[in-house]
Amino acid sequence: MVIQLLLSFINQIIVGTLGAVSVAAVGLSGSLSFMFFVTLGAIGSGTSILIARRSGANDRRGINHALAAAALLATLLGAVLTVPIVTGAGTLLRLAGGAPDVTAAATPYMQVFMLALVPGLLGWVFSGALRSLGHARTPLVATVISVVLEAILAYGLVFGAGPFPELGLIGAAWAVVAANVYKAVHLAWQLYGARRLVHFELPRGDEWGALTGPLVTLSAPLAFTEFVWTLGGFLYAAVYARVGTEALAASQIVGTLEGIFIVGSFGLMSAATVFIGQSLGAGDAQAARTWIDRLTRAGLLTALLFGALFALSSLVIPLVFPKVGPEVQHIAVLGVLITAAAQIFKVRNMIVGGGILPSAGDAQGVIIGDVIGALIVGLPLAIWLGLYTPLGVWGVFLARILEEIAKVLVFEWRRRRVNWERLAQEQQGQPVTVAAH
Using DSSP's 3-state secondary structure scheme, residue 431 falls into coil
Structural domain for 268, as ranges: 2-427
Please indicate whether residue 259 or residue 348 has the higher confidence score (pLDDT).
348
Is residue 358 assigned to a domain? yes
Is residue 402 assigned to a domain? yes
The answer to whether residues 89 and 30 touch, using CB atoms and an 8 Å cutoff, is: no
pLDDT at 319: 87
Is residue 296 assigned to a domain? yes
pLDDT at 206: 66
Give the DSSP per-residue string, 238-277: HHHHHH-HHHHHHHHHHHHHHHHHHTTTHHHHHHHHHHHH
Residue 59 has pLDDT above 60, yes or no: yes
Is residue 434 assigned to a domain? no
Residue 233 has pLDDT above 80, yes or no: no
The answer to whether residues 281 and 427 touch, using CB atoms and an 8 Å cutoff, is: yes
pLDDT digit string (tens) for 373-414? Answer: 988 999 999 999 999 999 999 999 999 999 999 999 999 999
**What's the average model confidence in pLDDT over 62-80?**
86
pLDDT at 124: 87
Q: From CA 355, how far away is CA 274, in angstroms rounded?
A: 9
Q: Specify the number of domains making up the chain.
A: 1
Span of 47-56, 105-114, 117-126, 361-370 with lowest mean pLDDT:
47-56
Span of 51-55, 235-239, 347-351 with lowest mean pLDDT:
51-55
pLDDT at 1: 61
Is residue 435 assigned to a domain? no
Span of 269-283, 298-312, 397-411 with lowest mean pLDDT:
269-283
pLDDT band with cut points at 50, 70 and 90 for residue 9: low
* Alpha-carbon distances, residue 226 vs 15, 96, 194, 297 (angstroms): 27, 19, 33, 25
Residue 437 has pLDDT above 80, yes or no: no
Is residue 433 assigned to a domain? no
Using DSSP's 3-state secondary structure scheme, residue 425 falls into helix
Is residue 436 assigned to a domain? no
pLDDT at 7: 63
Residue 140 has pLDDT above 90, yes or no: no
Average pLDDT, whole number, for the chain? 83
pLDDT at 434: 38
pLDDT at 147: 85
Q: From CA 91, how far away is CA 95, in angstroms rounded?
A: 6
pLDDT at 293: 92
Please indicate whether residue 222 or residue 123 has the higher confidence score (pLDDT).
123
| Residue 165 DSSP label | -
Is residue 354 assigned to a domain? yes
Please indicate whether residue 191 or residue 274 has the higher confidence score (pLDDT).
191
Give every CB contact of residue 430 below 8 A, 6+ residues apart in sequence.
none
**What's the average model confidence in pLDDT over 169-183?**
91
